[in-house]
Structures are given as C-alpha cells and as structure tokens.
Structure 1
C-alpha cells in the first residue's frame, strides 16, 4: 500500500513539475482567454436580443398590443395583409416524437396574413409521422392550406434533402418564398411574417435563418447538446448579416429553386448530405447575403429520455458535416473549421485538467515529501512550506487567498505556487463565462416568452448550472474524438440510414428497418414505441472503447 502511495505521489510530483513549465502556463492562459472570448461573445449576443426586447416594450407602451406580430399595428389592416406574398412552408419529417405535435401546431397556426401553404414531406406512408400529421391537418382542414407529400426513398442525397426538393417541386407555382423548417422547430405566431418582411425589405437577402434555444430535459446528454449550440448562437445573434446558417429554419426565394440559381438544386441533389452547409458554401462562393433577424430564436425542448448515446450520435452527425463539401474552397474551409475547432476544444479542456492537478498537489503537499519537493522545484518565487501540522484545506485556503495569516492563527510561512495563481485566474474566467451564458439564456427566454405571449412559458429555473459546467467539459473533450472518427470512417448513421461519403458527396446509402431513435426527440420511427434502458456514462464509454476498432454498423 505504501509503495502504491509513493508511486502515486511520484506521478503527481512529475505532473506538478510539467504543469508549471512555460508551455503548460501558455496552455492555461490560453484556456482563460478562450473562456473570456466566449463570455464576451455571449454578452454581445445578449445585447442584440435585449435591444429587440426594449423595442417591443416601447411599441407596447405606445399602444401596439400586437408588438409580437408587427412593428406598426397598421400593418394588420386588411389592405396591407392582402398584398403580402405567398409563402410555401416545407417540412421534411421523419418519425414522431414527444414534442412534434406541439411544434407542428405552432407552425400551422401562424398568424401570417398572406397566402400560406404547408407541405409535410415524408419518406413513405409507413412513417408514423404520416398518420400523425394527417390527423392534425384534418383538425384544421377548413382553416389552412396543407397536405402530406410522400417523397419516396432518396438515392443520391440525404433523405432530408430529398424530401425538401420534392416539396419544392410540389409547392404552389405562385409562391414567392419558400421556408424550410425542421419538425423540432417551435415557431412564434409572427415568425413567418417577420422573415417575409425582411425578405421584402431587402431583396439582396439570399437566405434568412434563425437558431434554436435548447431547453435541456435534465440528462447530461441534453445539457451537452445545449452547450454545443450555445457558442454557435453567437453567430446568429447579429440582428442582420451573418455567415452562419441553420438548416432548421431557412427562408429563400422560390425562384432560386425554380431556376436552379448557382446550381443549388443540383448541388443538393447530387450527393448532398447537409442542406445548411451546402447552401452556406454556395452563398459564400457567390458572395450572397445570409441574414438572421433578432426575433428568429426558437424554443427547442429536448427529449425527456435523451440518453448519452444519442447525444454522442448527434455529435457524430455534427462533426460529419465537415467531411462533405461542394467545391475545393469549401473543402479548405471545412478543413480549417475542423482544425480550429479541435484545437480550441482541447485547448479549453486541458487547463481544467492542469488546474485539478494543481489543487491536488496543494492538498497533498503537507503530507508528502515527494510532492512538497516537486512543488518547491516547479514553482517560481516561493516562501518556506508550512509546518506539517497545517491542515491541507486551511493551507489551500491560504494559498488561494494569498493571505499572510489565517483566522485560526495558522503560520503564514508558506509559498504561493504559480500553478494555484493560474487556478484562481481560470476560476474567475470560468465564472465570467458561465454568468455570460446564463445571461444570454435568460434574455433569449424572455424574448421567446414575449414573442409567444399565449404559448407555454419557458423558464430559466429548470436549468442546472452544475450540469452545464460538466457538459461544457464533456462536449469539448469529445468533439475532437468525434471529428477524427468521422474523418476516418467517412460514414454516419442518420435515423436508421447509413450514408457513405466519397470526395465530399454521398456515394452509398444503406437502410435498415429495426427500431431506431433520432438524437433529440426520442422519436418512434418504426413499429411500437419503446425507450432504451437507462445506462450509466461509464458503462456506455466502456462499450464504446471495446467496439472502437470495429465501428457499429448502425449507431443509435
């Protein structure tokens, strides 16, 4: 036992020396800067959203009770509404989940005053979504123009893109704009009107988009997805021009598809895997404008049974999009994103590992000569170590606070390790980052509640910020692993369909009819709805390691 303790102390001592070196100090300072950069980005995003909230409040004070629908109440006059352009809303569906029905209701009950049609596109009539949405349409048959379209199986692109393109073929010939929505988007009553108004105001807009606000269900997997989306939300909270595009909400000119402008139809149809990445690449290549209005933020409740394994498969899907491309320039951009995201993710995580070592060293040093000697040799300016009788916790308190003496009369003869100073810096930067994330979430929740005054209220009280912090570390640690696995496998499972890439395009599609669950909604895709048994994180990771060299044929 003593030998094992000595060996552990030796490892701890070696780590202490290594983590006080110049390279390690650079990594820890870099981690602090990453935290502060994220915090600054979320603070700016919160200001943009907050500005819209203040604008809506001013309109309400000025007597506009419909500020959640329009800037000026006169816009609701019949003479104005009858001039609004026709919009076709296309929703590619796959399976039926616990939140889908409520999401679809928010979409078809939009208060847009112009001509509006809804096209729900499914793979086949065997899809549970077909019967569910058919019943929903029957409830509103006299109040809206909607139909279910059976697209059939895709052969040259992802099933989602195939469904979208079939919907484009079936849309009304007089439609001026087409709005693509995912089935997990919960719209506000005025969303379609706000997007259309921006398109009418600025014809140079190529695509209008928005972004979801994840509502975690309580599981670690759901918090990891929330954390994954939060840094991306910075790019969508611009109140206008952006370089980012989210496939869950995209409004475009219908004629762009009719004319196959810039080859958008062929680019999607011929081997396309990701709709948003493909369209964003085309927009960038031709210097076309992508816009994200400040009101385009949507509550996104995550599945109550979202397991860690489904989060992992979702992360795999997100990293896999960087393997698809439509041009050489697009490939280079994806490689740059791949490298920078992997570097920053582990650059974010490593300082916390080093900080943990610094804290353990401080706690262990009073009881181990090996660790004490390593600390003395690895730290810069120092003072004599405290007496062995000094309690470890009290010693750590003294070091962290840099106090000359303790309230309990403990000796002040101790050295201040540079590693623990870095721990203090990282702690401050982490708290700054989390407070900024909390503030943006609070502001977006407030905005969502104002935009849907009669909808179910969203609350910040349901968020567990301890789990948020853990999710930040887990997600950033796993991202590079997922990215490298996607790069070397060149295949991914998406709701029971496995896609294989070659030269950035889909080259092979394999299907299987077993029970499958999508990553966010816990959807019923085939047969009787069941739920996977709950398993521990350690159990899942152990199975993943065991199967690492032999990838599963289908990831759930």
Structure 2
C-alpha cells in the first residue's frame, strides 16, 4: 500500500515508524528524564534562593532595615565594622562594553565597612577600558559614601558614621603589560595580586560583567571569616536578555549551570566572574595556585577548580551570591556561537592528567546530554507531522502502518517540557526578587526583561 503514498508522506511515515524502535523510544524517554531533572534542579535552586528571601523578610519584620547587608543588625555597629578584614578587589579588564561602566560603579560603591581597595588591571593605556576607568576614578575620588546611600541615613546614623569616614574610593589602575606564559586575564589577575596591600586578608576577583549588590563583598567576607576552611567563594550571574536571539541562547545555556551555584553552601563548580580567596594563598603559592595559573593557565576558574579538587579544598557559593547580568543588545547568534566554542575550548586546558581526563569526560557528557536533549524534539516533530498528514489527507493508520504511540511519546515530552519551563520561570522570578531585595536603591529588575516566547 505504501506505493500509493506520496513520496514525502512515505518518508515521513517511515521516519515515524523508525522513531518507535526500542532505541528511539529510549532516546525519547531519556529526553523526558532530562527535562524533569532540570525541573527538579531548578526547583531546589529556587527553594534555596527563596529561603534567603524569607530570612531577609523576617529580619525586616524584626526591625532590621538593613537586612540586605546582614541578618543581625548589631553587626553594623562601629565596634564590629572597624575590626573587619582588609579586602582587595582585583578586576582584570579588556575592552569597554555596553554595561561595563554601570557594573564598575556598582563594584566601587560597595557598603563594606572594612578597609577596601580596588585594582583595575589593564594590559596597556591602549586598551579602551583604561580611559573609561580613569574617568570613573576621577569622578569618584573624594565622593562620600554617605552621598551614595540614597536616603538610608535616617535609618541608622551609627551605621552611616562607619562609612562616612571612608571619604575616598581607594581605586588604582595598573598596567600589566602583555602576557607570555598564560592568558591575558590570568596575567592581569596575578599582577593585581602582586600589587595588593600588604595587609590584605582576602582578594576578590571580579569580571567587568558583574553587577554587585551593596552588601555582596560583606556577605562573602563574613562567610570566609565564619569558616576559614573555605578555599574559594563564588557566585553566578542572573542573565537579563536584551531581546536578541543570542542573548536568549546565553540565558538558556547558563540556566542549567546555575543549579550548581544555588546550593547555599558547598559546591564543586566555580565561576571566574566572582571568586574570593585567601590572599596568603597567593603570597605563599599554597597548593600551587600561582604557579598553576601562571605556567600555561588559560581558564582561571577551571584551573582553580582543578586545584581545589586535587587538594580537596572547599568551594562554597552563598545564597546571596547571585548578580544581575544585563546582556549586550547586539549579542547576535554568531557571537553566542563563538562564546560556546570558547567554552568548549576551555575544556581542552588542564593542569594534570587527572584533570585532563575529567575535562574530556565532562566534554563527552556535555555533548551526550546536549544531543540527548535536542533529538527527542526532532522525533516528536516527526510524530506530530505524520499524525497531521494522516488527518489532513485522510490516510488510515493501517495504510501508513503508523500507530498512536508516537503521539503518546510526543505528548509526554510536551508535558515534561512545560514542567521544565515553569520551573525555570519560577527560579528566574525568585532570583529577580532576591536581586531587588539585595539592591534596594537600584532600579527594579522585572520579568518584563524576558520574552518567554523566545525562551
């Protein structure tokens, strides 16, 4: 009977039959499992972030108007603030992007009460970032932190007194020169570490795409003080798509990764955009952090994560370490594809054979899951197209040898996909709310940033 069928229809029905083989059914069920796994992971991440929101709300109900800085308002007393450790913020820069200036302002206007210095490290004065940062520092030199509090002064005068003593922003530009043994970013970071204050206890590495909250540095430092066993503290960005297809691709790519950073504590993942470490680990080259980065290092986070794993050192990600990340308006699909290629190339870098094997395994696992996620949608599209052709042209299922099992598999995938998207939407909603609470003086973020039809 198949001879009477239109050739295109015959091919479509043949594919639909092939996609009901045991292997194809396994692939489609696996796709459903991947969707549900993502949904569960995002639900857990949302629970961790929402728990922090509830803690802040409870603190505010008890009269702590500065819950976005710390849960215990007594920590803001002058006697506690003057004993806070010195922190050096190292920012390796290259180029000048659309949102960089706003991000730098959020970084240098931190409400951390202890000694704080900012080191902007560029390759040379030819870098566009050099002139932009120079203007920024000139604008902020001599600017009172009290003026940046936007009306908070009346809430807690003693708290303001602690910050108004820090009348000047301690910020410097450092020219690192060209790198010869590692990536330029790592070279800039290491030069910054060499130039940090001799009394610095913690060093915080920030990328130029990180928009800090007023209390971010204080929150990271408090966790380091609470648990000296922490090797690195990290966080993760909340992507704010610009509307372009490439920006939504970046958002979709980052969302599965965000689960590993929403643990509220120990994690095995590390994001190079925000890393706080002990300064002495660099002064003494503990665990080979300096030599590991300097001698052939390409990716700072992958290298440090490998060192942490090899020496069984602790990496943590506090629940408040989620940072708004507005994506460029000109982020095209080709730029996303280039970003994806660079992320893949990172897995080719390693510091030991064990690290190489782990990276190869991670690359293979990533490829398998990616195709395991995409393939079921192609199969479901074929099943749906075959069913539509049968309905439109009046074929019988006996004539086409198709069955309704293909539609059943497609329906299961649709339900799992809807569950996954709802979970992703809920996590995004909660992280937007958390960011708004952590930066009460900033323009409010909104889910209106997101076009869910593109998601």
TM-score, with length taken from structure 2: 0.92
Across the two proteins, how many residue pairs are aligned to each other?
428
> Paired residue for 2:28?
28
Aligned: 1:148 with 2:190: no
Superposed displacement of residue 14, structure 1: 1.3
Aligned: 1:272 with 2:297: yes
Superposed displacement of residue 77, structure 1: 1.1
Verify the 8 A CA contact 1:92 1:160 in the aligned structure 2.
yes
Aligned: 1:298 with 2:286: no
**Which one scores higher on RCO, CA 8 angstroms, separation ≥ 6?**
2
Q: What 5-or-longer segments of structure 1 have no aligned partner? A: 380-416, 469-556
Q: Report SS of the residue matched to 1:323.
A: coil
- The 5 Å alignment of 1:18-167 reads 18-142=18-142, 143-167=168-192
Q: Distance in 2 between matches of 1:444 and 1:374?
A: 53
**Deviation per residue, 1:8-36 (Å, 9 max, x gap):** 11211210110111111111111000000
Q: Distance in 2 between matches of 1:366 and 1:79?
A: 78
> Paired residue for 1:454?
441
Q: Distance in 1 between matches of 2:228 and 2:6?
A: 72
> Paired residue for 1:423?
410
Superposed displacement of residue 150, structure 1: 0.5
**Deviation per residue, 1:364-419 (Å, 9 max, x gap):** 0145588845643x43xxxxxxxxxxxxxxxxxxxxxxxxxxxxxxxxxxxxx101
**Deviation per residue, 1:512-539 (Å, 9 max, x gap):** xxxxxxxxxxxxxxxxxxxxxxxxxxxx
> Paired residue for 2:373?
348
**Deviation per residue, 1:29-83 (Å, 9 max, x gap):** 1100000000000000000000000000000000000000111111111111110
- The 5 Å alignment of 1:428-439 reads 428-439=415-426
Verify the 8 A CA contact 1:361 1:371 in the aligned structure 2.
no
Q: Report SS of the residue matched to 1:234.
A: helix
- The 5 Å alignment of 1:231-250 reads 231-250=256-275
Q: What 5-or-longer segments of structure 2 have no aligned partner? A: 143-167
**Deviation per residue, 1:153-194 (Å, 9 max, x gap):** 111111100000000011111100000000010000000000
- Residues 82 and 367 of structure 1: CA distance in aligned 2, closer, same or farther (over 3 Å): closer
Q: Distance in 1 between matches of 2:240 and 2:424?
A: 14
> Paired residue for 2:239?
214
> Paired residue for 1:168?
193
Q: Report SS of the residue matched to 1:242.
A: coil
Q: Distance in 2 between matches of 1:462 and 1:258?
A: 43
Verify the 8 A CA contact 1:9 1:370 in the aligned structure 2.
no
Q: Distance in 1 between matches of 2:330 and 2:364?
A: 33
Considering only aligned residues, what root-mean-square deviation do their CA atoms show, in Å? Answer: 1.4
Answer with 1 or 2: which has the greater Rg: 1
Q: Distance in 1 between matches of 2:42 and 2:70?
A: 27
Verify the 8 A CA contact 1:366 1:372 in the aligned structure 2.
no
> Paired residue for 2:252?
227
Aligned: 1:466 with 2:453: yes
